[in-house]
Chain A
Amino acid sequence: MSSPEATLAPVQPAAPSGGLMSRETRDIIVNGLWTQNPGIVQLLGLCPLLAISNNIVNALSLGLATTLVMAVASGSVALVRNFIPHEIRIPAFVLIIAALVTVVELAMHAWVPALYIVLGVFIPLITTNCIVLARVEAFASKRSTAHSILDATMMGIGLTAVLVVLGAMREALGKGTLFSGVDLALGPIAKDWVIPLAPDYNGFLLAVLPPGAFIGLGLLIALRNRLLMREA
């Protein structure tokens, strides 16, 4: 993959293929969404991944909250990275992340209270989600603000995508619906948006309980590896 591009590079130094974005930007996007996907490659941030991915709405909500925290945290750290002494960078990063998470928590409590109750303890736990600290430490503390925000956003979207796919699998198998509880996030108007897949479905408890999350995640990782093997 890399060698033909490397030979092309001197001929077309900037933006070899798409033209709109630089190589670095494209790499950041591809890394976050696929090559270094936090959910199925780095396997970071598994605590919420496994606990909250029992339906699409929960998975999407927590995924987006995490993405928001990651983007703002990485942006803030990149901004102040030159002022933070090396020895205290980790406590400083944790302080910044914890403050941002609490802001998100208060905002969710105020404006989407039903969702706040469903997600419960997993909102404050975003603080301890290692993917947030990992991106701040590995990327944002060394790179430009714009690239750091992009990297965190893409990592967050990558994680959210895995959460949503896992949530869809578990919800479809476990409850026979899709988007159940969407009214908790969007209000009573969304009550009819739930998609029942099979009438009188009795449910498959294993899929909703934690083992379903481990098995589902295993299947997703296997699927990705299978796709990579075919490519190679």
Chain B
Amino acid sequence: MTPVLRETLATALTLLVIAVIGASLLAGTFELTRPTIEHSELAEKLALVAQTLPPGSFDNNPIQDALPLAADPRLGLKHPGQAYIARKEGQAVAVVLEAVAPDGYAGEIRLLIGIRIDGSLSGVRVTGHLETPGLGDYIDIARSPWINQFTGKSLSQPADAAWKVRKDGGAFDYLAGATVTPRAIIKAVNRALHYFAAHQAELLAPLKENPHVQP
């Protein structure tokens, strides 16, 4: 073996050893933190879904009681999403739909839309957005209660034509400086209500017919 070759091999081996040590360190940390991470992600998801439902209105775990949603333009979903079913004593009381407003000011706005079985909204939450900080981010419940005005609204209250911001002759408040953002959300919620009206039977039927679903 020539000296050059020996040196090259030694160099490569050193790097390999460092990589192996680094990889085992990562694998160990990953295994150590995985249960905590999975647990907190589930708890966080449940807390978000619960925010779109009236407190105490359900006694199941909607995360475990989820139905797959096919990608559908009415929900703005490009990838399959999920519908979380809230039930009290086995009876469905509300559905929480994952939806996306594709036309936000800075991209997609991800939403959770809670709809009672009578077709009225039980709550809406933004789960992800890229709107301008300080301008369009008032849609986030942490910034302002704006999103709460959807609660109680339905397709008849107000009528379809009034699902707009006040500036456009609609029934919804907005904050000056950012109207693209609320417009996108109002449209998305309205579309989701139409989706629910069209798919109500599908969304709720399997629950009634499948007693094996864990309450």
Contact = CB atoms under 8 A, between A and B. Distances in A.
Interface of A: 54, 80, 83-85, 87-88, 91-92, 95-96, 98-99, 102-103, 106-107, 109-111, 113, 174-175, 203, 205, 208-209
B80 to A, nearest CB: 23
30 contacts: A84-B14, A84-B18, A85-B7, A85-B10, A85-B11, A85-B14, A88-B11, A88-B14, A88-B15, A91-B15, A92-B14, A95-B15, A95-B19, A96-B18, A98-B22, A99-B22, A102-B26, A102-B29, A106-B26, A106-B33, A106-B37, A107-B29, A107-B33, A110-B36, A110-B40, A113-B40, A113-B41, A174-B134, A208-B133, A209-B133
A128 B46 CA distance: 35
Nearest to B31: A106
A134 B7 CA distance: 27
B25 A99 contact: yes
Contacts, number: 62
Given A91-B15, A99-B23, 19 more contacts: A83-B14, A87-B11, A92-B14, A92-B18, A96-B18, A98-B22, A99-B21, A103-B29, A106-B30, A106-B37, A110-B36, A113-B37, A113-B41, A175-B134, A203-B134, A205-B134, A205-B135, A208-B133, A209-B134
Given A95-B22, A208-B133, A110 B15 contact: no
Contacts of B41: 113
Nearest to B15: A88
A95 B18 contact: yes
Contact of A92 (B15, B23, B25, B133): B15
Contacts of B18: 80, 84, 92, 95-96
B168 interface: no
B59 interface: no
Given A92-B18, A209-B133, A99 B26 contact: yes
B76 to A, nearest CB: 22
B133 A54 contact: yes
Interface residues of B, number: 23
Contacts of A208: 133-134
Interface of B: 7, 10-11, 14-15, 18-19, 21-23, 25-26, 29-30, 33, 36-37, 40-41, 44, 133-135
Contacts of B37: 106, 109-110, 113
Contacts of A109: 33, 37
A174 B19 CA distance: 44
A91 B16 CA distance: 11
A208 B132 CA distance: 10
A54 B134 CA distance: 11
Contacts of B135: 205
B11 A106 contact: no
Contacts of B23: 99
A113 B33 contact: no
Nearest to B38: A110
Contacts of A99: 21-23, 25-26
A102 B19 CA distance: 13
A99 to B, nearest CB: 3
A123 B146 CA distance: 31
Contacts of A107: 29, 33
A197 B135 CA distance: 20
Contact of B29 (A80, A85, A106): A106
Q: Top 7 A-B pairs ranked by shortest CB distance?
A: A99-B22, A110-B33, A110-B36, A106-B33, A205-B134, A113-B40, A103-B29
Contacts of B44: 113
Nearest to A202: B134
B144 to A, nearest CB: 12
B109 to A, nearest CB: 16
Contacts of A85: 7, 10-11, 14
A184 to B, nearest CB: 10
A96 B134 CA distance: 38
Question: Interface centre among A80, A106, A175, A205, by most B CB within 10 Å?
Answer: A106
Nearest to A104: B29
B25 to A, nearest CB: 5
Nearest to A92: B18
